[in-house]
Structure 1
Amino acid sequence: MAPQTWFITGVNSGFGRELSEALLRRGDRVAGTVRKADSVADLAREFGDRFWTAHLDVTDGEEITRVVDRAFTELDRIDVVVSNAGYGLFGAAEEVSDDQILHVLNTNLVGSIRVGRAVLPHLRAQGGGRIIQLSSVAGQTAAPGASLYQASKWGIEAFMEALSHEVAGFGIGVTLVEPGGARTDFQSGSLRLGRPLAAYDNTAAAMVRNLQKPEFRPAGDPKRMAAAIIDSVEQHPAPLRLVLGRSAYDGIRAALTERLADIEPQQELAYSADFPE
């Protein structure tokens, strides 16, 4: 397979870092965005001009447009865009502040929407490409203590699913990646908690406070997950969803089954709410 060019946001850590290392080592070219340039200095030294970098804060819409435009101009063609930058905000709804709510939504949801919109004119002009959006098992499940993180992921799932239908005719495929917990540096670098309230100490919402403890060891292998994401680009048509990890598959399947069980008994009532034929 001929080398490809990937644009990936947030390559300094997590899946962004795993993907970048795997792609560069197999001979592909990566355009990666970071908040701190020195966080990927080792990759720049090792891979030289095959690793293009730029500063990007995905809460800055104007900067997103500038960086995307420059990447496509300087690299000519980008085959795959990975919208990866984001983080986890956990805590009961009462425990997170208004500022925290706005920031996680501006990063995970609005930032990802802006990245998707910014790349579309370029992908259409070059006759197609692939958009990969990092979501989560949290994009289809709902658990106490994760309401705001899940709101950001449910939102980007809806946007990307609708977008996939809008752009299919241009040869642009869209894939939502839904991993379960993985042993990345998410716990230490990309996880934030609200301010604990005693009222929630003995409730299910308090369980998320354990996520930052060293003994919490997710089952997901980030290297295997990154390999599956890379392999998905060879699938045509693009898979709309890529579920990775036992916890993700079991959790999503249970959530969807429960939702169907909730609505199916309501068919007669639902139909009765229309004007008579």
Structure 2
Amino acid sequence: MSGKVWFITGVSSGFGRTLAEEVARNGDKVIGTVRQLSQLAEFNNISPGNTFAYLMDVTNPDGVKATIEAAFNHFGRLDVLVNNAGYGFLGAVEEATIKDFKEVMETNFFGALQVTQAVLPYMRKQGSGRILQMSSVAGFRATAGFGVYNASKFALEGMSEALALEVAPLGIKVTIVEPGPFRTNFAGSSIKTARQEMPEYEGTARVFKNNILGYAGQQEGDPQKATQVLMQLVQSDAPPLRLPLGPTAITAVRNKIQQVSQDLDTWETIAAKTSFDE
């Protein structure tokens, strides 16, 4: 079998769909996961012989293992995993319920973790593999009103950074992808909001919420161009650990680095005085 075999979660829309279409167009095989029976035939028909839809919920551990086992048995290998399934959540930390936090974490973090753990035995056996963790610039820098989503993506990035160190000697490479605003349905039907709105957060969380919802469909990023970058990334022998996508993401990452550096410079002398006096 020529070409690579990709396993992409959440291909019904957004980045996952655009990437799957481009990968299939390039001649590679794409296993795409969907959550509705009606989406199976549609995905299979995108590029018959190259696109293969599987019904899978990333929050169902048994279903994840069974799907990945079936995919590997069918294709004989899994070259690229793209953990793309997830959703956004808007609201101040105090406005969100513990249930809100748990549900977002269940999909965005534990879902990606379960898929990763299920794929790793096959990649280890092959002695090769690429894992793309679709995080967000929100996984590197927090924003008022995005704390629930920030928490899920910060967790994903922390796990993935450790994972990259663990699997590098095994021939597996991990990259954390951090898109900024892209013209997908992330800010539309794919986003959830806190049920309560507290007046105390009108000038912080509410401003961000209104901005996000207000520019749905007008974001700067072109998903098609992003997929070209991701495909180039998979071909690289020396992929980065983190890859911010788009001008907004790049600027935000640089600003966060600068902020951390400034805090370190300001407090280093005091903070360092914590050792025993021998």
**1:13 matched residue in structure 2:** 13
**1:270 matched residue in structure 2:** 271
- Contact 2:188–2:216, Cα closer than 8 Å, also in 1: no
- Contact 2:88–2:149, Cα closer than 8 Å, also in 1: yes
Give the 3 Å change call, closer, same or farther, for CA 214–266 of structure 1 in structure 2. closer
Residue aligned with 1:49, SS: coil
**1:213 matched residue in structure 2:** 214
**RMSD, matched Cα:** 1.6
Which range is displaced more, 37-46 or 119-128? 37-46
Amino acid at match of 2:257: L
- Contact 1:12–1:40, Cα closer than 8 Å, also in 2: no
- Contact 1:92–1:200, Cα closer than 8 Å, also in 2: no
Q: How many residues align?
A: 276
Deviation at 1:201, TM superposition (A): 5.7
**2:138 matched residue in structure 1:** 138
Alpha-carbon distance in structure 1 between the residues aligned to 2:47 and 2:35: 20
**1:248 matched residue in structure 2:** 249
Deviations 1:24-48 (A, max 9, x none): 1111100111111323533312422
**2:239 matched residue in structure 1:** 238
More helix by share: 1
Deviations 1:183-217 (A, max 9, x none): 01212221111124241463111023322336662
Give the 3 Å change call, closer, same or farther, for CA 40–254 of structure 1 in structure 2. farther
Alignment identity in percent? 38
1:189-208 to structure 2, matched below 5 A, reads: 189-200=189-200, 202-208=202-208
Amino acid at match of 2:56: L
Residue aligned with 1:111, SS: helix
**1:48 matched residue in structure 2:** 48
Alpha-carbon distance in structure 1 between the residues aligned to 2:244 and 2:161: 15
Alpha-carbon distance in structure 1 between the residues aligned to 2:192 and 2:205: 15
Alpha-carbon distance in structure 2 between the residues aligned to 1:179 and 1:150: 13
- Contact 1:138–1:153, Cα closer than 8 Å, also in 2: yes
- Contact 1:89–1:193, Cα closer than 8 Å, also in 2: yes
Deviation at 1:59, TM superposition (A): 1.3
Deviation at 1:269, TM superposition (A): 2.7
1:87-126 to structure 2, matched below 5 A, reads: 87-126=87-126
Deviations 1:63-108 (A, max 9, x none): 1111112111111011100000000011111222222211000110
Give the 3 Å change call, closer, same or farther, for CA 178–46 of structure 1 in structure 2. closer
Are 1:22 and 2:22 an aligned pair? Answer: yes
> Please, what TM-score do these two structures have when normalized by structure 1?
0.94
Alpha-carbon distance in structure 2 between the residues aligned to 1:137 and 1:245: 10
